[in-house]
Structure 1
């Protein structure tokens, strides 16, 4: 069944490429379009067909239950329904896939009994809520909080599992639970005066990760370990920026775009970049850890371009946010293609040895 990964991963990457392309058009680039291009579905392609598939397949790969592979298959199959403009079917398939992911998360906890797995179960539940809300409202802003909680609890759960190898005290873990509890409650009561608490909670989670995660340890090392440390710290910096953007009180319609992309691109996609040299070879069952200093160029380009986009959003400079959006996508694609190139080159070299 693990051979399915060679079908699922390419389809997930196609979802990403299509999502980026329609995102370029949405932000204002006059690229070729057709009536069948799913321009309104940029968000679903990225968070459902791409991220939903990537996260679920990573979880499924460590389990030995065959039926669990149905979950990433469902998530990535939404791509075909979106391409053929069967949007309601695509959303329904993603909802069913997210329900399956809940069962996988629970099974994962039963197998390994790690405390971070509990957080990932909570995150999985919020993915179900997000797709449910989106199907009912067809509104990204209405679904944003649930998707944010899904990714925060999933990412923090994974990081918490890794801290079991580090000297993290029980008091420190309790502190993390307090921050997560605060963001959980304040997100539900966001429009009832607790918006400030959401931002403070994001700052609290970010500083906890900076202090207790492996980032500060890895940054003192070399090669892909150092790259991991740098990428993690930059992701946590964007989580802090996301919190800051949430405090801005203005009638600027682009602030939502700035907050959305500082979180999803700055925090979430940077976390993918950080772990790509480890995750992709593991999923593909390749004993290669791809690293090249050129990867820093793409990481820097992603952050600079995101800063341009956010700056353009905050100060309503249309051309700047448009340029930043384009360079965001190019940077992320360039990084993934670089990883693929390094893996392929190393495999060729090994085959000739």
Structure 2
């Protein structure tokens, strides 16, 4: 056990950079909501999307995949991601962290290629399709003139393809009884293609991506075992509740993309972005954290009913936020946003507390 300890702490270090990204990203969210002022707050607000998607989600996924693939060269990906976070927070020209994040995602693509050579599966293909979106997003953000708003749709490709692919990989979706894997993988690949089309022709690619988001949500939710596990108890039920709620928000986001023209500012943009990144992505992270974090850091994260508190805050706050978006009511929008920040912070605090307590109990035994 002592022989493995340096590797475990090595993982903790890289996980800390993802943690720094999410904490700074949540601070940036408060700046966007109007609760922080000053020049630094304005700069931080502009970095909210890259910190949350490239630094936090991308960093965590890259670390998890690196641990799973068990090859030394793959650690270059988390190194690039960590340097991307550092240079972004240090205020270097945006091209510098953009290139570092791009490098981390390209290395993630090589990791998927390695895994696919070892065992070819549709799940790996679906996750690899997300790399197309991630690289497109980082390059658009770093070298385009539209900021993160212009890179948001390809970033959606990254998170959706990765999460749906991991649902297939974790064998939570039954692949018998008609074998839905090819259909789901085909929809994910079509979403990646629509993301490329968006870069060339945004007014065409945007509604097409919306249709595909709805299709991915409906088809995957129909066959996901979460529909049965929601009647179970403990962790299986908790995960199922989070996943089914995530699919609902993803489908709603797709409908918004189809029903309304593309915009990069305002209430409609806020609703279209956060229905995906909060309602779908964060809910799915809540669902899988006890499994994935335990595998990555080799520390238990046991289920406890208190974990439903941040889940309720997340979805209740998001519903309030979207109500504020629909009514263009700033107080409702702000209240929902603050509740969302509290939801993520509460989940982080709850997870750390439960993990530390479980580790201490194990040590005493």
TM-score, normalisation: structure 2: 0.89
Q: Are the structure 2 counterparts of residues 53 and 290 from structure 1 closer, same or farther at C-alpha, using a change threshold of 3 Å?
A: same
1:33, CA displacement in angstroms? 6.9
Separation (CA, whole Å) in 1 of partners of 2:243 and 2:87: 34
After TM superposition, where is structure 1 displaced by more than 6 Å over at least 4 residues in a row?
none
The reply on whether 1:129 has 2:136 as its aligned counterpart is yes
Query: CA contact under 8 A between 1:126 and 1:150: conserved in structure 2?
Result: yes
Q: 1:278 maps to what in 2? A: 291
Unaligned stretches of 5+ residues in structure 2? 1-6
The reply on whether 1:221 has 2:232 as its aligned counterpart is yes
Which stretch of structure 1 is more off in the superposition, 259-268 or 249-258? 249-258
Separation (CA, whole Å) in 2 of partners of 1:103 and 1:257: 33
How big is each residue's C-alpha offset from its partner over 1:192-242, in whole Å with a ceiling of 9 and x where there is no partner?
Answer: 556544333222211112121221132122111110111110110111110
Q: 1:241 maps to what in 2? A: 252
Separation (CA, whole Å) in 2 of partners of 1:202 and 1:39: 27
What does 1:181-220 correspond to in 2, within 5 Å?
Answer: 181-187=189-195, 188=197, 191-193=202-204, 195-220=206-231
Counterpart of 1:338 (choices 350, 359, 362) is 350
Q: Are the structure 2 counterparts of residues 349 and 193 from structure 1 closer, same or farther at C-alpha, using a change threshold of 3 Å?
A: closer
1:298, CA displacement in angstroms? 1.0
Separation (CA, whole Å) in 1 of partners of 2:42 and 2:274: 26
Query: In structure 1, the residue corresponding to 2:232 is in which secondary structure?
Result: coil
Separation (CA, whole Å) in 1 of partners of 2:232 and 2:324: 36
Separation (CA, whole Å) in 1 of partners of 2:110 and 2:128: 9
1:141, CA displacement in angstroms? 2.6
Q: 2:115 maps to what in 1? A: 108
Q: 2:155 maps to what in 1? A: 147
Query: In structure 1, the residue corresponding to 2:170 is in which secondary structure?
Result: helix
Separation (CA, whole Å) in 2 of partners of 1:185 and 1:8: 32
1:314, CA displacement in angstroms? 1.9
Separation (CA, whole Å) in 2 of partners of 1:178 and 1:105: 17
What does 1:1-353 correspond to in 2, within 5 Å?
Answer: 1-30=7-36, 34=40, 38-86=44-92, 87-138=94-145, 139-163=147-171, 166-170=174-178, 172-187=180-195, 188=197, 191-193=202-204, 195-249=206-260, 253-286=266-299, 288-353=300-365
- Report the number of matched residues: 352
Q: 2:3 maps to what in 1? A: none
Query: In structure 2, the residue corresponding to 1:38 is in which secondary structure?
Result: helix
Unaligned stretches of 5+ residues in structure 1? none
Query: In structure 1, the residue corresponding to 2:69 is in which secondary structure?
Result: coil
RMSD: 2.3
Which stretch of structure 1 is more off in the superposition, 75-84 or 330-339? 75-84
Separation (CA, whole Å) in 2 of partners of 1:147 and 1:20: 18
Q: Are the structure 2 counterparts of residues 191 and 52 from structure 1 closer, same or farther at C-alpha, using a change threshold of 3 Å?
A: closer
